[in-house]
Amino acid sequence: MGTGTSYKHHAVEGRYDAIVIGSGIGGLATAALLAKHAEMRVLVLERHYTAGGFTHTFRRRGFEWDVGVHYIGQMGNPNTLIRRIFDDITDARLEWEDMGDVYDRVIIGDDTYDFVKGPTEFRDKLCGYFPEETEAIDRYLEAVKTTAGSARRYFAEKAMPGAVSALAGGVIRRSGVRNAKRTTREVLDEVGASPRLAGVLTAQWGDYGLPPRQSSFFIHALVAGHYLWGGAYPVGGSGRIAETILPVIESRDGAVYTSAAVETILVEKGKAIGVRLADGNELFAPLVISDAGAHLTFTDLVPEASEFATLTASAGAQELSMSHVCLYVGLNRTTEELGLTKPNLWVYPSDDHDGNLARYAADPTAPLPVAYISFPSAKDPDFARRYPGKATLEIIGFAPFAWFAPWQGERWSKRGAEYEALKDGLVARLLEQLYRHVPQVEGAIEHMELSSPLSTIHFTGHAEGAVYGLAATPQRFAERRLRPKTSIKGLYLTGVDVATPGVAGGLMGAMLTASTIVGRDLGNDIARGAEAAREASSPDGGNSRSDAV
């Protein structure tokens, strides 16, 4: 299984054209794009013992769980940009399983609402639930379409040379920034959505980490639009993402090293020249690319003695995204025996997402603001082969970092009875939701364990366990300095903070960064390559064309 080369057992040898810090989807995709389209020898350094960031899986007592990939949109059409990038950086070795007609099931109190695949089908389903609000639904869908349609120009401006961006960037970004500066709730109020309709339409807020009164409508529109054609899951589990990208990097004489924590980015005379690892070893390259997030990069990795330590102060001071807990559950019966299905469950006490979250943050005994239940063993057709007789599920909940802050810095399993009591209480609350909505699993649990914001910090280095990097606020998307090229020569950012939260956002961040470095739109290269491959495999030599876009 391609998890990278352990730095503990193998020394880094030779010189590289670029060093990438972090092997999340942004780091791995950037490395693969540069290797494949610029013939660069790229070194990826990962602090964790396995590659993949939030796309990796972990095993425990005969079970396997994903840690961050629960579904991805736009995989059913081979001509979408997201699918083309995935196919390009994996040499089309990564397969996808469609989640079916229903990909999300929203439960608010005692009411259930299905999110179904297909824009027309989705609209019709909503109108069936809310027959008196068809005009508001149509206005909402038009706002999503318009805002998502402006994203290409918004992101393209980030990859432009500084002089061009300074001259024309504001005009290019204008259409995207217009709704980026507005909250999701403001737009929903404008289209005339009732509180319950608004609560349903924003039920996927956990996919980007902020409720409607705090989130930018830009990110909401991108996520909602991303899933309009349904969701898909990697065949073989989310660990296959890194497993299929690594050979592309390594085939160009690159390498991915794990257990290789970067301590400092080396800067000399205003230029990034390499990195210093936690053990003091220094590695050099003319390009350094950070997938560690803007906050960590500018507050920890850039040396304090440098005038660039406070580079783009807004990026360092920006609000961090939410932290979370996740209960990983292993079951001693199969998916079929338990009747588990593919749709994710979004469980809410009421349609007031902002109020639910605020009440829980202030009072831990208040109803859980959200419980997200995912069934990876049902989504992955290869799971039964790898783990016969078993099934898995995951329950994710919001958890303020402040609750866990007293134990930051203490070792795992050595945090004491009070910490364990906090976790036990959260486990009980999450199981209560599980047994209410998936009662057939009661009595079938063989193993379970809870990850906390401290787990996120330990494995990713993200401050305060911020699962999505910088928060998806209007201010974040209005900030022009969050772009691939920094003011330190040779230092670039990649991943979600360059684009948007989530796997698709990290992938787009990688595309922007790699395009900025090579000085051309790699999306065009990938499209031409996909077209050539399609024509080569077509029975009539490519004369039959698809109209899908």
Tens of pLDDT along 95-121?
999 999 999 999 999 999 999 999 999
pLDDT at 158: 85
Q: What is the number of H-type helices and E-type strands within the chain?
A: 21, 21
CB 56 within 8 A of CB 274: no
- The tens digit of pLDDT for each residue in 424-451 reads 999 999 999 999 999 999 999 999 999 9
- The tens digit of pLDDT for each residue in 349-402 reads 999 999 999 999 999 999 999 999 999 999 999 999 999 999 999 999 999 999
The yes-or-no verdict on residue 25 having pLDDT over 90 is: yes
The yes-or-no verdict on residue 92 having pLDDT over 70 is: yes
pLDDT at 538: 61
The yes-or-no verdict on residue 1 having pLDDT over 50 is: no
d(CA 321, CA 208): 9
pLDDT at 171: 57
pLDDT at 165: 59
pLDDT at 70: 96
Regarding predicted confidence, which is higher, 460 or 201? 201
Other Cβ atoms less than 10 A from the Cβ of 124: the count is: 13
pLDDT at 331: 98
Regarding predicted confidence, which is higher, 545 or 371? 371
CB 381 within 8 A of CB 235: yes
The yes-or-no verdict on residue 316 having pLDDT over 50 is: no
Classify residue 56 as exposed, middle or buried by CB count within 10 Å of its CB (0-12, 13-18, 19+): buried
What residues pair up with 88 in beta bridges, in sequence order?
none
Share of the chain above pLDDT 70, in %: 91
d(CA 81, CA 74): 8
d(CA 133, CA 128): 10
- The tens digit of pLDDT for each residue in 477-517 reads 988 888 999 989 999 999 999 999 999 999 999 999 999 99
What residues pair up with 394 in beta bridges, in sequence order?
328, 374
pLDDT at 540: 58
Other Cβ atoms less than 10 A from the Cβ of 132: the count is: 9
Share of the chain above pLDDT 90, in %: 80
What are the structural domains, with CATH classification, of the chain? 5-58+235-318+479-534 (3.50.50.60)
Burial pattern 260-295, b for ≥16 Cβ within 10 A else e, equals bebbbbbbeeeebbbbbbeeeeebebebbbbbbbbb
Q: Are strands 344-348 and 371-374 parallel, antiparallel or unpaired?
A: antiparallel
pLDDT at 164: 57
The yes-or-no verdict on residue 240 having pLDDT over 70 is: yes
d(CA 430, CA 270): 50
- The tens digit of pLDDT for each residue in 34-79 reads 999 999 999 999 999 999 999 999 999 999 999 999 999 999 999 9
The one-letter amino acid code at 57 reads: T
pLDDT at 312: 47
What's the mean pLDDT when you consider all of the chain?
Answer: 91
Give the pLDDT band of residue 319 (cuts 50, 70, 90). confident
* Residue 396: DSSP 8-state: E
Residue in 91, 87, 88, 7 with CA at minimum distance from that of residue 43: 7
d(CA 43, CA 15): 9
CB 356 within 8 A of CB 370: yes
Regarding predicted confidence, which is higher, 302 or 534? 302
The yes-or-no verdict on residue 549 having pLDDT over 50 is: no
- The tens digit of pLDDT for each residue in 110-154 reads 999 999 999 999 999 999 999 999 999 999 999 999 999 988 888
